[in-house]
Amino acid sequence: VTGVETMLATGRRHLVVRAAAEMAPGDVLVFRVRRGVAKHAGILATSASFVHATEGAKVCEVALGGTWGARVASVFAFPGVE
């Protein structure tokens, strides 16, 4: 990993770090889409899917598994939400 992890640092500053095994709907997932810094995020919708958007595409709900599951760099919960 190279570069500054701005998205991860910001998540740690404003959100609550959660273990991937403990993620719950509503949590913020941060991904490494390509080699390098983590710079893509989504919201966990169910235990098996998340909502995200990419440039030039609509917001969509997709399966969290396979490639996406392998790219999760960190999981964050919103403070005060249980």
Question: Could you read off the pLDDT of 45-80 as tens digits, one per residue?
Answer: 999 999 999 889 999 999 999 999 999 999 999 999
Decide if pLDDT at 1 tops 60.
no
Helical spans, DSSP H, in the chain: 6-14, 66-70
CB 17 within 8 A of CB 75: yes
The predicted structure's pLDDT at residue 35: 78
The predicted structure's pLDDT at residue 42: 97
